[in-house]
Amino acid sequence: MNICVFCSSSNAIAEVYFQEAHQLGTMIGNSGHALINGGANVGLMEAVTVAASKAGAKTIGIIPEKMIGRSLASDNSHKVIITPDMMERKAKMRDMSDAFIALPGGFGTLEEILEVMTLRQLSYHTKPIVFINTNGFFDDLFRQFERSYNEMFAKDVYKRLYFVAGNAEEAMHYILKYEAEELDSKWFVVPEKK
């Protein structure tokens, strides 16, 4: 299975996040799976790549051409795929992957995992999506999701679009036991405006 990991490219974050990235990479490799990620040599991206590679995983980094010019490509990826831009990078990551995991990250990580969720909501795929909520990092995001459900911006059934894991072990267990299901993709039935 190709497991895509979206995560931070910052080296300035706390050690607890690196520990979880290392654990996830190790579990991907020990389970005999491959890692797909953004291919950068910084932050949690590099940490998960190094750990997965050491544990025997094939690692594939997909990086936009602009980042190559900044010397940001990881030397620890077994294969590096260069794309002309971010749009194609994300599309290739989605197409090549069988499951998606978000470790903590910034705007790019959020954009990537939310796009995957939106495509799942619209039935473009039925692949598993997991947030690893290290140190409660995503708590405020999940509160925003709850507000969306409570105020009818999103249906309760969409809580099944994703799984919230406390750690890498829970995330891998969910993915390995995952069974695809079709979710209700109909719009809300709303009263006609007068």
The string of pLDDT tens digits covering residues 38-90 is 999 999 999 999 999 999 999 999 999 988 777 688 888 999 999 999 999 99
Domain membership flag for residue 182: no
| 142 falls within a domain | yes
- The torsion angle over the Cα atoms of residues 29, 30, 31 and 34, rounded to 10 degrees, is 10
pLDDT at 74: 87
55 and 25 in contact (C-beta within 8 Å)?
yes
The CATH number linked to 63 is: 3.40.50.450
Q: Tell me the pTM.
A: 0.93
Residue range of the domain that includes 64: 2-177
Q: What is the pLDDT of residues 101-127, one digit of tens each?
A: 999 999 999 999 999 999 999 999 999
Half-sphere exposure of 116 (CA within 13 A, CB side): 29
pLDDT bucket at 185, cuts 50 / 70 / 90: low
- Residue 190, in any domain of the structure: no
Q: Is residue 187 part of a domain?
A: no
Residue 68 · residue 82 · CB < 8 Å: yes
DSSP E strands in the chain: the ranges are 2-6, 34-37, 59-64, 79-83, 99-102, 129-132, 163-165
111 inside domain: yes
The total of structural domains in the chain comes to 1
In a domain, 158, yes or no: yes
Q: Contacts from 140-146 at CB under 8 Å and sequence distance 24+?
A: 141/110
**Average pLDDT score, the chain:** 94
Q: What is the pLDDT of residue 194?
A: 65
b/e code 71-93 from CB counts within 10 Å (16+ = b)? ebbbebbeeebbbeebeebbeeb
Tell me how crowded residue 184 is: count the other CB atoms within 10 A of its CB.
12
Best CA proximity match to 7, nearest among 131, 105, 89, 115: 105
**Could you tell me if residue 30 is inside a domain?**
yes
Is residue 188 assigned to a domain? Answer: no
